[in-house]
Amino acid sequence: MATPVIMPKFGMAQEEGTVIRWLKQEGDRVEKGDVLLEVMTDKVDMEVEAQASGILQGIRVGPGETVPVTTVLAYILEPGEALPQEATPAARTQAPAPAEETAKPPAVKASPVARRMAAEQGIDLARLTGSGPGGRITKEDVLAAAQAADQAPDSSPEPGRVRATPAARRLAREAGIPLDGIPGSGPRGRIQARDVERHLAALAASAEPEAQPIPGPGARPERAAPLTGMRRTIARRLTHSWQSIPHVTFTASVDMRQAEALRQRLKPDVEARGARFTPTVLLALAVARLLPRHPRLNAWLQAEGDELLLTQHSQVNLGVAVALDDGLIVPVIHGAEELGLAALAQRIGDLSQRARRGDLQPQEVMDGTFTISNLGMFPVDHFTALINPPQVAILAVGRARMQPVWDGEGFQPAPVLQLTLSADHRAVDGAVAAAFLADLKAVLEEPARLLL
Amino acid sequence: MSRELTYAQAIREAIALAMERDDRVFLFGEDVGIYGGAFGVTDGLLDRFGPERVRDTPISEAVLAGVATGAAMTGMRPILEIQFMDFITLSMEQLVLQAAKLRFMLGGKVNIPFVLRTPAGAGTGAAAQHSESLENWFVHVPGIKVVMPSTPADAKGLLLGAIEDPNPVIFVEHKLLYRHKGPVPEGYTPIPLSQTQVKREGADLTIVATSLMVLRALEAAETLAQEGIQVEVVDPRTLKPLDEQPIIDSVKKTGRVLIVHEACKTGGYGGELAAIIAGSEAFDYLDAPIRRLAGLDMPVPYNRELERRMVPQVEDIVDAARKLVREGI
């Protein structure tokens, strides 16, 4: 029987994936467990293994193409077996079309009743795997998907299930904008007409200054390309963060003399354990030790129907932002409050190295409760970071700059850096943020306090 | 010129005007003559028009509907009063199988121009067998028109329009409206059937209501206006054939709709209205689910408090409207 090779779903929030390249080619003999292709998701690059042994046939999604998860990418056939009928894209085999045109997801095979039920329940058939003959999606598949969607928390709606009123849908359709990403103010997050109107107004306001670029004489037209993969996810998430979270920021200056001295002193010991003792490690250590005492900041704020749910975590899952060539990823150190200095340094080093290689497991970028973003290696004195929802706070770290510091008698040169905490003002009051910054400043200026 | 008349007076005036104008029009039913009708609607008409044209009949609703059908076929314009809509159950065969179908089955060679007037509705403590609202049974039968006036002016104008109409018309009056007063134009002023009317304009919510519920919706709209909710109240007046466009236009304008009727919700007229709206161009303007407020699915209770609870009241309409506008549910 033909075994479909599908775009896998690695993470809960993953909606689509991009084929990087095929490692096996059309007609190759493959064994179960062989790596067939590499795919890129929002967060990580992954390998897709053969689920069966046979001949790889009917490759229909080429390198660079992005498709929804569970889309059939190819089939593994038994020798002599023909491709399932819907799996022979005639245009593809007879006359290879340009890549732009073949980027469309393949037609979905589903029974009429399944189609009707899926339409009624707003389920995207392209995201289902059919259990019927030839991979046909049956009534049972739709029922199972509907049940799964019903059980999913409202805060993370199933892909393709945007809750919106007909009026909101019409407005979005007329304006030619997608509904997902527009925050819904109706019951259970339903997108209302007013939400779309607000969104359109915001778009119009932001688009105005660059509405009509006037090319200068002889100006070479730049090529516009749609954002894809991680870039697109970053764009969507940051827009959501910026538009839906009332950010408030707090900045404190920290005299890093003692911290820096301590770091230099312990560096050889940490390095002897095969890790690097960077300023980020020390900051991460301080933050991880302090957060349990400041649970309001080690928290998630999530919409649950009309309610906003605040979850304060006892465990610190510390995200440390890592810059990539094109993008950014935040690997998470789970249970960071339990780790000693050397262990923490090892974890951070390992995760950031693998992050740069694109070699992180999905769970290594999930479930963060607080994030640190350090630009101290650049000549950036101070910046504010955008919160990564559902987290309620993020710490932006600037560079340590030599500055005169008054010690009661005279000015001393000291490396001073600025810490800027961005907090979700719905969940975090100024005093709470200030108390955390005060503690953090105290332990960094006098690291012995970490022993307290 | 108009003056204040009760709903009952307006109906009586329409009957008298039609009888004066057209010799073929006559009135018959149980106690419509000497007694003046169970609710006094036909009081004085016997004296005015004589026993030939105002006829008291035996208690025999099946026969009465057959008489109306036969008289209409032979060229008369009968007005039949069925004392309580509940008893229309006894007339069903004549109405549904004969009156509604004969013109069709005889190739259009006959007209059946009669009007069956009947009081419906709960609220008088008359219990389950004298309180029914059965209008939707007839909405379902092709060949019968159904009219439900909510005001004295509509009662007069629509009754004249129904008498003029060449088809069997079920003219559903509401017991609690009989004493309700309102301006009524003088003279012979028929209102053609199938003209939906906007009774009050508003931008936030459309309430489509029938009969007594129109009045309650208007009262609710007053309360809601004080909270800043502008309600548009739309009265179909003729349930069948329905003038759909004003309803659709109203929903397109407000994006929200609450349907209110007294008859039980299940299988009621509200379902038909909801389907018409959802299937129309108004669909793309809906910003909340279509909601129905209707009688509970139960026989009308004798106990006055239970009876009250069974039927939508002004406060129920206010609550439902507020929820729809404020919360979208």
The answer as to whether A257 is a domain residue is yes
Residue A274 confidence (pLDDT)? 85
- The more confidently predicted of residues A306 and A424 is A424
The answer as to whether B191 is a domain residue is no
The answer as to whether B86 is a domain residue is yes
The residue among A107, A142, A174 that closes a domain is A107
Regarding pTM above 0.80, the answer is no
Residue A364 confidence (pLDDT)? 87
Q: Which of B13, B61, B132, B307 is catalytic?
A: B61
The residue among B154, B185, B216 that closes a domain is B185
The answer as to whether B32 is a domain residue is yes
Decide if pLDDT at A166 tops 70: yes
Q: What is the DSSP string of A60-95?
A: ---TT-EEETT-EEEEEE-TTPPPPGGG--HHHHHS
Cβ contact B196:B148 at 8 Å: no
Cβ contact A370:A388 at 8 Å: no
Region A424-452 average pLDDT: 93
Q: What are the pLDDT digits (tens) for A83-133?
A: 876 544 433 333 333 444 344 445 677 877 788 778 777 777 877 878 777
Q: What are the pLDDT digits (tens) for B124-166?
A: 999 999 999 999 999 999 999 999 999 999 999 999 999 999 9
The answer as to whether A416 is a domain residue is yes
Q: Is A169 on the interface with B (CB under 8 A)?
A: yes
Q: Which residues of A touch B286 (CB under 8 A)?
A: 165-167
The answer as to whether A41 is a domain residue is yes
Range of the domain at A80: 3-107
Matching residue, tokens 């805060």: A155
Range of the domain at B226: 197-327
Return the residue in A120, A165, A182 with the most chain B beta carbons within 10 A, the one to mutate for interface testing: A165
The CATH number given to whatever domain includes residue B97 is 3.40.50.970
Q: Around A14, how many Cα atoms within 13 Å sit in the side-chain half-sphere?
A: 29
For A181, A185, A186, A299, the CA distances from A163, given in Å and listed in that order, are 11, 11, 9, 27
> Do B13 and B90 sit in the same domain of this protein?
yes
Count of A-B CB contacts under 8 Å = 30
Q: What is the pLDDT along chain B (329 residues), one digit of tens a residue?
A: 789 999 999 999 999 999 999 999 999 999 999 999 999 999 999 999 999 999 999 999 999 999 999 999 999 999 999 999 999 999 999 999 999 999 999 999 999 999 999 999 999 999 999 999 999 999 999 999 999 999 999 999 999 999 999 999 999 999 999 999 999 999 999 999 999 999 999 999 999 999 999 999 999 999 999 999 999 999 999 999 999 999 999 999 999 999 999 999 999 999 999 999 999 999 999 999 999 999 999 999 999 999 999 999 999 999 999 999 998 88
Q: What is the DSSP string of B107-153?
A: TT------EEEEEE-S-SS--TTS----HHHHHTSTT-EEE---SHH
Would you call B328 and A170 a contact, using CB atoms and an 8 Å cutoff?
no
Decide if pLDDT at A350 tops 50: yes
Cβ contact A233:A42 at 8 Å: yes
For B51, B234, B303, the CA distances from B320, given in Å and listed in that order, are 50, 16, 25
Q: Which of B130, B174, B180, B261 is catalytic?
A: B130
Q: Residue B109: what are its φ and ψ, rounded to 5°?
A: -80, -15
The CATH number given to whatever domain includes residue B268 is 3.40.50.920
Which amino acid type is present at position A244?
S
Cβ contact B68:B114 at 8 Å: yes
Q: Are strands A45-49 and A35-40 parallel, antiparallel or unpaired?
A: antiparallel
Q: Around A325, how many Cα atoms within 13 Å sit in the side-chain half-sphere?
A: 3
State the burial class of residue A121 (Cβ atoms within 10 Å of its Cβ: 0-12, 13-18, 19+).
middle
The answer as to whether A234 is a domain residue is no
State what percent of residues in chain A have pLDDT above 90: 34
The residue among A107, A124, A152 that closes a domain is A107
> Do B316 and B224 sit in the same domain of this protein?
yes
Confidence of residue A48 (pLDDT cuts 50, 70, 90): confident
Residue A206 tokens, joined? 């932001």
The nearest CA of chain A is from the CA of B329 a distance in Å of: 7
Region A196-214 average pLDDT: 69
* B66-69 LR contacts (CB < 8 Å, sep 24+): B66/B94, B66/B98, B67/B28, B68/B28, B68/B94, B68/B99, B68/B114, B68/B116, B68/B168, B69/B94, B69/B95, B69/B98, B69/B99, B69/B102, B69/B112, B69/B114, B69/B168
Q: Is A197 on the interface with B (CB under 8 A)?
A: no
Residue B237 tokens, joined? 């007046």
Q: Other CB atoms closer than 10 Å to residue A298's CB: what's the count?
A: 27
The CATH number given to whatever domain includes residue A324 is 3.30.559.10
The nearest CA of chain A is from the CA of B206 a distance in Å of: 15
> Does residue B284 sit in helix, strand or coil?
helix
> Do B227 and B318 sit in the same domain of this protein?
yes
The answer as to whether B190 is a domain residue is no
Question: Which of B196, B235, B190 minimizes the C-alpha distance to B13?
Answer: B190
| Predicted ipTM > 0.90 | no
* B192: Cβ contacts below 8 Å, ≥ 6 apart: B161
The CATH number given to whatever domain includes residue A35 is 2.40.50.100
Q: What is the DSSP string of A252-286?
A: EEEE-HHHHHHHHHHHHHHHHTT----HHHHHHHH
Which amino acid type is present at position A161?
R
Residue A94 confidence (pLDDT)? 37
Residue B17 confidence (pLDDT)? 98
Question: Which of A322, A405, A387 minimizes the C-alpha distance to A44?
Answer: A322
Residues A75, A121: Cα–Cα separation, whole Å: 29
Residues B26, A340: Cα–Cα separation, whole Å: 102
